[in-house]
Structures are given as structure tokens and as C-alpha cells.
Amino acid sequence: MSKSKAILIIEDEADLQNFISRVLELEGYEVFRAGDGRTGLFLLRGNHVDLVLLDLRLPGTDGWTVLREIRRDPALAPVPVVVLTAIAEAIHRKKTLRMGATKYLVKPLSASDLMQTIAIVLSEQEKLQPAASAATSE
């Protein structure tokens, strides 16, 4: 069986960050956590991450800026980004997806919806990059 997937949570609400971490860890994922955009980018650049869960409203560097930086960096661009936000307006959803978000989920969301979305995104990612995944796993 392959090694566990790593997920980076960039979320400033501590209760939500803890809840998501617990759910992911119970499912066997390795979890990295950041409470702001700068720390999230630092962790993303310093660790192998298979998926990013990104809040849009963050202190300092907001989620749109983080997403833009991820998509501009060739080393980070392939990493899927699932946006978790309380912003439900269609215009923000469209803008965020155009900027390169993989999925856009509106809070609050259930653990089962979150896990289902993560499973789908990671499965799609593996189909897109089977050679890259095989080359990077040790």
C-alpha cells in the first residue's frame, strides 16, 4: 500500500482547523496546519503536500493571494487546492475556480462531504500524474 497522503490546512479558525485535522488524521492522512497564508506557503514549499485545503479570508496574506502564488510557482502548481470558505456568492466561486482552485466548498460542511471531496480530488490527481507519483515515492 502507498504511503499516506499529506494535506495542508490553511485555516485561521482554530476550532475548524482542529476539527478538520482530527477527521483527516483518523482517515490516515498526514496533516500540516497553518493559521495564515504566509505560514501556509512556507509549509507548502518545505514539505511534500498532496492537497491544500485553503480558506479565503485569512489574516495578512489572504487565500486568493496564496492561490495565485501556488499557481505561479511551477513546483507548487500541480498541487490541487480545495477552497473552504464561508463566501457563498457565485461570483467569488467563479473567480476562485478561474484562478485555479480545484474545488470550492462552502462552510459549514460535514466531515463526510469533506472526506468525499478529498477522496475524489486525490483520485483524479493520481490519474493525471501516475508517472510523477511513481517517480517521487521512495
Res 1 pLDDT > 70: no
What helix, strand, coil percent values describe the chain, rounded to 5?
50, 15, 35
In a domain, 118, yes or no: yes
Q: What is the tally of structural domains in the chain?
A: 1
In a domain, 92, yes or no: yes
Indicate the range of 23-27, 46-50, 107-111 predicted with least confidence.
107-111
Quote the pLDDT of residue 3.
64
Of 13, 5, 4, 48, nearest to 34 by C-alpha is: 13
In a domain, 73, yes or no: yes
In a domain, 98, yes or no: yes
CA dihedral 114, 119, 74, 69 (to 10 degrees): 0
The grid coordinates of residue 19 equal 476539527
The grid coordinates of residue 17 equal 482547523
In a domain, 31, yes or no: yes
In a domain, 1, yes or no: no
Domain that includes residue 93, residue range? 6-136
In a domain, 42, yes or no: yes
Res 2 pLDDT > 60: no
In a domain, 59, yes or no: yes
Quote the pLDDT of residue 137.
46
CATH number at residue 113: 3.40.50.2300
Indicate the range of 70-74, 106-110, 111-115 predicted with least confidence.
106-110
